[in-house]
């Protein structure tokens, strides 16, 4: 970073507030720092003078798209507005904090959030992905919670492009390295390959934590006299300007040359920091806490003070450095990982020091909280920052960017999959089933997930390949949580409003099939450039779809993240709103797997199969086609279905339950038999008759609101009665049959495969590509 001169950090070089007042006409590099002319003018207006270089650094990074949400704010508000009192009943902390907190009963609460680390992961896949995990885990820790699990939502380019393997290997090993070393079970996630992500992969990371109600912590500094303590790793030159330079500029051909701006992670330091923080919380010596992630000290100091409606006096010389040549501006912007800032009452400082010493964590007292709502930062004797913290942290610019209905979308919607050829003979259909389940997106992700520890903690009740991850929270009662995340960029491209609701409906259903009750939503909204009005339209539609959908389902959005500028040149990614749904289950012992383990059970298809193949996996894999309109979403029915599943689970009627989504019934059947290696005999006649659909639609349609369940014969009458009483269409479509080496999946009139042949079709794809 050549914008600020490096040197021996001699005090005489510092651009002081007095100097700034005396030299109003000095040219400043606001443009290079990503500020717009009017934004720079507004900073001058706020301060009544030009900013010092340190102030300019702070404002530029805090007013970047990544930190300020300046383009998305006006749309994100609806997540807080489209709510009912009922939805907020269990919400202990809503949007705006590091992560939302939900009351799950028995005195327990959970906090969860998903965040993007897309751009760093393209430049340096290993460190980008690793620090993505590290950052979201610190967000969870900051709320006072013990992190209990992680998940990842990954989008890579086309498997045939040679650069894809570089990104895949780096990202997967980065997540494996960091997550495994933290001791957090990885309980699920998504991996999708599509050429639209070639120059802009998506690496989203989710973490969930559990806490007792009374342990809730907030990021605020409100009591004058409290000490401001920075602890954890030392501050170095990593990630300087990472937030504004990396996240707020679109990649162009010279993308990878910005390597030095990516942060470097040390999971060992973070693991120690987690245990150290939990011990600090238990000792009740922390009045407020904030992690240092994007925007580093600039963010932590201004947010803590602003949230506490107080001010802060900070001596920047007290920051422990890894590199003594850092300038004050660089120290303020550094994104060195594994650092936390605590607000500690004076009387507790000795106890605080004792605990951090035990964990051999370094710390330094930077200053103290003051009553006056002003942030003063000194570099030795000289004052280099003197600002109202709220103007840095919260009163950044807000844009209502131009929105334009995409010129191309009508033609795309008109290009329905109905014109695509459909196989009519059994052999060709059977061939298509194998093509679908062995395609990179539909194939088993074992090659990836087997690199993640899903056992650590001893509380994992469900993980990959089941539809949702589930973790026990209370060892005494078995109380637990389930999480699933989903997003289908192809649907998002066809209709971003429906695409967001489809992601929500699928994640909701994936939680419901585990036996848990959906309770709350987080999201990571991955889009192209907000400066493109058509992208802004997609964003507007998707946020409206998600907010309306949450209102319909009665579950609140508790927090999330926006990632813009996901594009290469002028070409934006498909709108990819990753939606995570959290559910609660009173006892994880009654969780339901996604496949059957018992022979002689009946297989039922719940819901209605329509001829809905636009945007489907079938259209993509068999015909390389994307066009038409996505499947219809019926959220009222999704609720009914979830309630029925919950009732059936509570009565112990379900041996397995598997959501139907990408790849339709064909995919669900193959996954169902492979889950435990128990076969099935299935017939399609009733599906075709009742839904008035052909073989292709029966097998591959992606109609929503459908679940494949297995039920023991002794529970049949009860189960069917339960569905009928609740208005859930239920069709018996087969029986489970034959285990071990003799097992087959037979679709009557079409084909029969041995489990072994299906297993090799489904599991060989990723190892062949990347192994």
> Which residues are near another protein by CB under 8 A?
173, 176-177, 180-183, 266-269, 271-272, 359-360, 449-461, 472, 475, 588-589, 593, 597, 676, 739
Nearer to another protein, 208 or 331 (CB): 208
Structure tokens at 507: 């994640």
Q: Which residues are CB-contacts of 24 (< 8 A; sequence separation ≥ 6)? A: 49, 50
Q: Which is nearer to another protein, 232 or 288 (CB)?
A: 232
Q: How far is the CB of 458 from another protein (least distance, A)?
A: 4
384 secondary structure, DSSP code: E
- Residue pair 88/103 in contact by the 8 Å Cβ criterion: no
Chain position carrying tokens 């006056």 = 372
Of the candidates 66, 601, 658, 762, the residue annotated as catalytic is 66
Q: How far is the CB of 421 from another protein (least distance, A)?
A: 41
Distance of CA 531 to the CA centre of its chain: 23
Q: Which two structure tokens, joined as six digits, stand for 111?
A: 């906090």
Catalytic choice (90, 117, 574, 625): 117
For tokens 């489907």, what's the residue? 616
For the CB of residue 189, give the shortest distance to another protein in the complex, in Å: 14
Q: How many CA atoms lie within 13 A of 739 on its CB side?
A: 10
C-alpha distance across the termini of the chain, in Å: 38
CB of 211 to another protein, least distance (A): 16
Residue 615 has, within 13 A of its CA and on its CB side, a CA count of 25
Smallest separation, CB 272 to another protein (Å) = 5
Alpha carbons 275 and 134: distance in angstroms, whole number? 14
Tokens read off for 82: 């489209």
Q: Which of 267/296 has CB closer to another protein?
A: 267
Dihedral sign of CA atoms 149, 155, 159, 160 in order = negative
Query: How far apart are alpha carbons 96 and 543 in whole angstroms?
Result: 16
What is the DSSP pairing of strand 227-232 with strand 339-344? Answer: antiparallel
Least CB distance from residue 110 to another protein, whole Å?
18
Cβ at position 249, least distance to another protein in Å: 33
Q: Which two tokens stand for residue 344?
A: 């500690």
Identify the CA nearest to 239 among candidates 318, 173, 338.
338
For the record, the structure tokens of 501 come out as: 């609701």
Assess whether 117 carries a catalytic annotation: yes
Rounded to a whole number of angstroms, the minimum distance from the CB of residue 338 to another protein is: 11
Place of tokens 């839904």: 691
Contact 291, 340 (CB under 8 A): yes
Per the DSSP assignment, residues forming a β-bridge with 228 are: 343, 367
Q: Determine the Cα–Cα distance for residues 378 and 367; give it in Å rounded to an integer.
A: 10
- d(Cα 316, Cα 328) in Å, to the nearest integer? 7
Residue 178 Cβ vs another protein, minimum distance, rounded to whole Å: 11
Element (H, E) at 98: none
**Catalytic-residue membership of 762:** no
Nearer to another protein, 360 or 714 (CB): 360
CB of 77 to another protein, least distance (A): 41
Q: Answer whether the bond into residue 638 is a cis peptide, omega within 30°.
A: no
Report the residue number, 503 or 678, with the smaller CB distance to another protein. 678
The CB density around residue 350, as the number of other CB atoms within 10 Å, is 10
Decide whether 271 or 759 has the Cβ nearer to another protein.
Answer: 271
Q: Residue 770 has which token pair? A: 């990347």
Pairing of strands 656-659, 571-572: unpaired
Tokens read off for 293: 């992630």
CA distance readout (Å), 162 to 157, 177, 269: 10, 23, 34
Which tokens sit at 101?
């907190």
Alpha-carbon span 110 to 116, nearest angstrom: 20
Cβ contacts of 425-430, under 8 Å, gap ≥ 24: 426/749, 426/750, 426/751, 427/751, 429/695, 429/696, 429/699, 429/750, 429/751, 430/747, 430/750, 430/751
Do residues 590 and 650 make contact, with C-beta atoms less than 8 angstroms apart? yes
Residue 317 corresponds to which tokens in the numbers above?
């010389």
Query: d(Cα 318, Cα 315) in Å, to the nearest integer?
Result: 6
Cβ 595 to another protein shortest distance, Å: 9
Q: Cβ closer to another protein: 233 or 344?
A: 233
Q: CB 180 → another protein: shortest distance, Å? A: 6
The tally of CA atoms less than 13 A away on the side-chain side of residue 206 is 34
**Which stretch of DSSP H or E encloses residue 298?**
helix 296-307
**Residue 293 vs 593, nearer CB to another protein:** 593
Minimum CB distance to another protein, residue 160 (Å)? 22
Identify the CA nearest to 557 among candidates 519, 525, 517.
519
Q: Is 372 helix (H, G, I), strand (E, B) or coil?
A: coil
Enzyme catalytic residues: 66, 117
């Amino acid at each position: 970073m050549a914008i600020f001169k490096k040197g021996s950090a001699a005090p005489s070089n510092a651009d002081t507030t007095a100097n700034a007042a005396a030299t109003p006409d000095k040219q400043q590099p606001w443009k290079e720092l990503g500020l717009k002319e009017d934004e720079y003018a507004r900073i001058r207006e706020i301060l009544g003078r030009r900013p010092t270089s340190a102030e300019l650094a702070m404002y530029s990074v805090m007013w970047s798209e990544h930190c300020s949400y300046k383009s998305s704010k006006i749309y994100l508000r609806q997540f807080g507005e489209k709510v009912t009192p009922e939805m907020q009943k269990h919400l202990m902390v809503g949007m705006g904090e590091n992560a939302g907190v939900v009351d799950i009963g028995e005195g327990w609460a959970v906090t969860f959030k998903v965040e993007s680390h897309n751009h760093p992961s393209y430049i340096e896949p290993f460190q980008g992905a690793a620090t993505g995990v590290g950052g979201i885990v610190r967000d969870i820790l900051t709320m006072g919670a013990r992190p209990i699990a992680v998940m990842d939502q990954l989008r890579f380019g086309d498997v045939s492009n040679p650069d894809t393997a570089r990104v895949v290997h780096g990202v997967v090993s980065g997540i494996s390295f960091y997550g495994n070393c933290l001791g957090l079970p990885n309980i699920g996630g998504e991996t999708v390959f599509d050429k639209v992500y070639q120059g802009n992969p998506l690496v989203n990371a989710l973490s969930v934590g559990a806490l007792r109600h009374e342990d809730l912590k907030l990021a605020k500094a409100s009591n004058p006299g409290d000490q401001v303590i920075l602890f954890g790793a030392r501050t170095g030159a990593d990630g300087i300007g990472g937030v504004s330079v990396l996240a707020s500029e679109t990649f162009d051909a010279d993308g990878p040359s910005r390597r030095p701006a990516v942060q470097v992670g040390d999971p060992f330091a973070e693991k120690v920091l987690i245990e150290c923080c939990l011990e600090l919380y238990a000792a009740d010596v922390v009045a407020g806490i904030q992690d240092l992630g994007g925007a580093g000290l600039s963010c932590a100091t201004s947010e803590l003070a602003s949230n506490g409606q107080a001010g802060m006096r900070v001596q920047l010389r007290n920051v422990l450095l890894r590199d003594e040549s850092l300038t004050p501006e660089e120290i303020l912007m550094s994104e060195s990982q594994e650092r936390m800032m605590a607000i500690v009452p004076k009387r507790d400082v000795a106890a605080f020091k004792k605990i951090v010493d035990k964990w051999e964590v370094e710390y330094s007292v930077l200053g103290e909280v003051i009553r006056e709502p002003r942030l003063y930062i000194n570099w030795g004797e000289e004052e280099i920052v003197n600002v109202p913290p709220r103007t840095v942290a919260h009163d950044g610019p807000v844009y209502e960017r131009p929105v334009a209905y995409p010129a191309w979308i009508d033609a795309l919607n008109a290009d329905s999959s109905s014109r695509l050829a459909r196989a009519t003979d059994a052999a060709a259909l059977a061939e298509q089933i194998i093509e679908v389940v062995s395609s990179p997106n539909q194939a088993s992700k074992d090659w990836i997930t087997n690199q993640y520890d899903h056992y650590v903690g001893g509380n994992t009740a469900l993980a990959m390949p089941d539809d949702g991850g589930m973790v026990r929270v209370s060892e005494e009662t078995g109380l637990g949580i389930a999480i699933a995340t989903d997003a289908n960029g192809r649907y998002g491209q066809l209709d971003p409003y429906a695409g967001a609701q489809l992601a929500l409906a699928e994640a909701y259903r994936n939680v419901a099939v585990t036996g848990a009750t959906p309770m709350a939503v987080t999201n990571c909204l991955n889009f192209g450039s907000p400066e493109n009005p058509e992208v802004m339209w997609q964003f507007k539609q998707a946020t409206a779809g998600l907010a309306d959908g949450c209102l319909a389902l009665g579950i609140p959005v508790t927090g999330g993240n926006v990632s813009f500028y996901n594009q290469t040149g002028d070409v934006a990614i498909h709108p990819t709103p990753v939606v995570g749904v959290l559910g609660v289950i009173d006892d994880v012992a009654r969780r339901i797997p996604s496949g059957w383990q018992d022979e002689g059970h009946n297989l039922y298809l719940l819901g209605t199969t329509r001829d809905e193949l636009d945007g489907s996996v079938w259209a993509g894999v068999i015909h390389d086609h994307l066009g038409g309109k996505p499947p219809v979403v019926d959220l009222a029915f999704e609720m009914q279905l979830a309630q029925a599943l919950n009732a059936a689970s509570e009565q112990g009627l379900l041996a397995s339950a598997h959501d139907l989504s990408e790849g339709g019934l064909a995919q669900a059947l193959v996954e169902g038999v492979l889950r435990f290696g128990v076969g099935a005999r299935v017939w399609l006649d009733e599906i075709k008759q009742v839904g008035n659909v052909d073989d292709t639609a029966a097998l591959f349609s992606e109609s929503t609101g459908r679940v494949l369940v297995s039920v023991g014969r002794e529970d049949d009458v009860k189960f069917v009665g339960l569905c009928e009483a609740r208005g859930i269409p239920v069709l018996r479509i087969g029986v489970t049959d034959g285990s071990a080496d003799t097992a087959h999946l037979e679709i009557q009139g079409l084909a029969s495969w041995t489990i072994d042949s299906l297993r090799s079709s489904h599991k060989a794809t990723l190892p062949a590509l990347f192994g």
